[in-house]
Structure 1
Amino acid sequence: MHPTKNTNQFFLLLLLFPIQLWAQDISLTIDSLVSKYQKEYQIPALTVGVVQSDTCYLGIEGVVRIEKNQKVRLNDKFHLGSNTKAITSFIAFKMIESDEISLNTKFFDICSDLKGEISTEYQEITLGDLLSHQAGIQPYTSGLEYEKLPALNGSISDKRKQFSEFVLNEESVAKGTYSNAGYILTSLMLEKAAHLSFEKLVDKHMKALDLDYFIGFPNKQNLNYPWGHWEENQQLISLSPTHFYKLEDYTLAAGDVSMNIENYARLVQFHLTGLMGENNYITSDSYQKMHYGLENYAYGWGNMKTKTSKISFHDGSAGTYFCHTVLVPSKGSAIIVMANSATEEHQKAVYKLRDELIRFSGKLLE
């Protein structure tokens, strides 16, 4: 899913964002605001993180699924959707620092064993092109696009390779076109460079960071984790773990990680402190390039500048959960809002909640 476009009012509000947020007020406000928006907009479950360099303020409200009054908990996982792309980019930059690959590495320098006649338009594409949606790869942002694929067989890595062979024989699209397929090709590059499957790469780096995660919708790991919701016949319903809808296993890099708010906030905190000048799992320079290396969309993150701040942001949704993340390092803060529904009305509520958090933080300066 694209980084959010409804940013005009938001970026004006960011001018009010304080450098220091008051812990007690933030905690109380998060609790009250999450409860208010969850009830007012009838979102099944809503969770929020306000992240600072040394603290994460968290809140959660709602139910696991709309048909049952089972309360959600802070350790319950939500689906990140396309915010998984930032994890893919994070792994890529760690590998760049260890000289396993570079942003300028050409796809076919690593994946030279692909079969079929590859379109000449793709012969020079690089890792950086794929991470920044500059490779001209078809989007594959709709389930209908996957229906034209031939049967993909073998291991997940085999399917990734077969998918790449098919996509690279398709007609190119304009550079800058948001592409899930481009991130699937990225994962093929990374696993070839690392000599590990992309699934093992994700596990290696998440374990190194001591972060808990799951591949797939969270209720497939635990029935007590939030179920995703969508509308049928103008009514919101939950999707069981056995529901036919799922993401293809080879699409992990584009958008299929689930995390709870505690662990996801810690991951975002690595990015925040890195953008504030701290070297941690990767260097501050790498974070700067990842978030701001190109205008509008760099490597896994959208970005924008105001008169006083650089902002990076991203949305993620596979249609049944929604995750919105924004970082403002000049103010020392980031905001995360996640829900287990992604209807248009619920997405609007997420943005309104984000804006209220910013308004409140501005009042602390008065």
Structure 2
Amino acid sequence: MLKCLVSFLFALALVMPAWSESMSPEDLTAKLETVRDKAGLVALGAVVADADGQILALAVTGDRVRGKGAAAQPDDAWHIGSNTKMLTALLYGRLVERGEARWGATLPELLPDLADEMDAAWSDITIEDLLAHRSGMAANPGVTWFLTSRASSNTVEAQRTSLARAALAKPPKTEPGSFTYSNYGYMVAGAALDRIAERMGHQNYESLFLAELVPSGEGWGFGPPPEGIEGHRKGLFGGLKGQGAGLDADNPPALAPAGTLHVPLEAHARLLSRFLTPDETVAKLLMPYPDEASDYALGWGVVSDSPSGAALGHSGSNTMWLSTVRLYPDAGVVVIVNTNSFSEKGVQALNGLAEDLAAAYGAASQD
């Protein structure tokens, strides 16, 4: 089973920044190559953007596929895993602005066709609870679903409805209001977005996302990238092996709202740069939920003690890729660092590299 392994990082490595000013393209590439080699990564890419969406730095190193000899390219797409979640939340927020949805909507309102089947304990759970992992949903669907869903003849929206029906017919798995990181909760939010999508003339969450949130032609899509860089996992006899672009190279497609997006570095950074100039919607998405004591907002982890100033962050992996995002509102920069393999050593390497790049491009040391 391809388990959706998410490692949203609320605390960054407490190390002093390595630079105090921006690097040349050559220095940036050299830094990435050093990090990639030391951590044993196949490919490594990084981008820094400012609040205007200007790309301050972008570099990639390593191979698209280990052993194939083709170098990773700056415009290659990378799988971003659970960094999809902040964009699912953003999509919902933009629909609120258009009057197609509302904040505070409860599960019976979000899924009216399932309302009569819901256990009473779900009646007051809201969209915010789903997006902040405080709904009471289990972390993931069961093992059977992961093993069988790729072969299902049902559409992804039908699968999400089936999962929502099964979960909501029973009492919550965890205490509503408490934090349990839940891919399942985002799939139920996706089922609600499926219904909004149909009302707006789209097929499902996926088509709504691509039509309404991101510009066409920028390389956004769901599932593994169809060409270019491949995700890697350990082979039967050791080493890392490219996984291609088939169904087995990602989590089941119906998990899309929780984490199956792919996108090139530049397009990803330009979209996330919008979080640096908050409008009413973005301000809500970045606000700790349900109150300031929380270290998670709506799709974002909150980092209050970063050595480079207040930050928000998230990381995601489907066990074959790893993507790390850091947003530094005070410095006005967003940093994204991606690799096409997963390991705990890689998590630490990307974490440290993101902090270094933040310092190099404007984030101030808090010593």
> Does the TM-score normalized on the shorter chain lie above 0.5?
yes
- Aligned partners of 1:291, 1:5: CA distance in 2, in Å? 14
Aligned residue in 2 for 1:3: 8
Q: Taking every aligned residue pair, what percent have the same amino acid on both sides? A: 21
1:203 is displaced (CA, Å) by: 1.4
2:224 to 217, 223, 229: 217
Aligned residue in 2 for 1:158: 158
Return closer, same or farther for 1:145/1:296 CA change in 2, 3 Å cut-off.
farther
- Aligned pair 1:200/2:203, yes or no? no
**C-alpha RMSD of matched pairs (Å):** 2.9
- Deviation by residue 1:136-167 (Cα, 9 ceiling, x = unmatched): 10011885773598x96532211111111112
Aligned residue in 2 for 1:37: 35
Secondary structure of the equivalent of 1:114? helix
Return closer, same or farther for 1:161/1:48 CA change in 2, 3 Å cut-off.
same
Aligned residue in 2 for 1:265: 269
Secondary structure of the equivalent of 2:191? helix
Aligned residue in 1 for 2:256: 252
Return closer, same or farther for 1:178/1:332 CA change in 2, 3 Å cut-off.
same
Return closer, same or farther for 1:142/1:262 CA change in 2, 3 Å cut-off.
farther
- How many residue pairs match? The answer is 345
> Which residue identity is paired with 1:244?
D
- Aligned partners of 1:17, 1:291: CA distance in 2, in Å? 28
| TM-score for both structures, normalised by structure 1 | 0.85
Aligned residue in 1 for 2:300: 301
Paired residues for 1:73-84 under 5 Å: 73-84=73-84
Is contact 2:7-2:317 (8 Å) kept? Answer: no
Aligned residue in 1 for 2:3: none
Secondary structure of the equivalent of 2:354? helix
Secondary structure of the equivalent of 1:345? helix
1:231 is displaced (CA, Å) by: 1.9
> Which residue identity is paired with 1:127?
I
Is contact 2:309-2:364 (8 Å) kept? Answer: no
- Larger deviation, residues 133-142 vs 88-97: 133-142
Give unpaired runs (5+ residues) of structure 1. Answer: 276-283
- Aligned partners of 2:141, 2:318: CA distance in 1, in Å? 9
Aligned residue in 2 for 1:130: 130
- Aligned pair 1:172/2:173, yes or no? yes
- Deviation by residue 1:100-135 (Cα, 9 ceiling, x = unmatched): 212201121131212884332222211111111110
Return closer, same or farther for 1:127/1:26 CA change in 2, 3 Å cut-off.
farther
Secondary structure of the equivalent of 1:70? coil
User: Which protein has the bigger helix share?
Assistant: 1
Is contact 2:13-2:352 (8 Å) kept? Answer: no
Aligned residue in 2 for 1:52: 50
Return closer, same or farther for 1:362/1:129 CA change in 2, 3 Å cut-off.
closer
Secondary structure of the equivalent of 2:61? strand
Aligned residue in 2 for 1:97: 97
- Aligned partners of 2:353, 2:329: CA distance in 1, in Å? 20
1:345 is displaced (CA, Å) by: 1.6
Secondary structure of the equivalent of 1:69? coil
1:265 is displaced (CA, Å) by: 1.2
Give unpaired runs (5+ residues) of structure 2. Answer: 1-5
Aligned residue in 2 for 1:328: 328
Provide runs of 4+ in structure 1 moved above 6 Å: 362-365
Secondary structure of the equivalent of 1:327? strand
1:335 is displaced (CA, Å) by: 1.1
- Aligned partners of 2:186, 2:285: CA distance in 1, in Å? 15
- Aligned partners of 2:247, 2:173: CA distance in 1, in Å? 34
Aligned residue in 1 for 2:286: 291
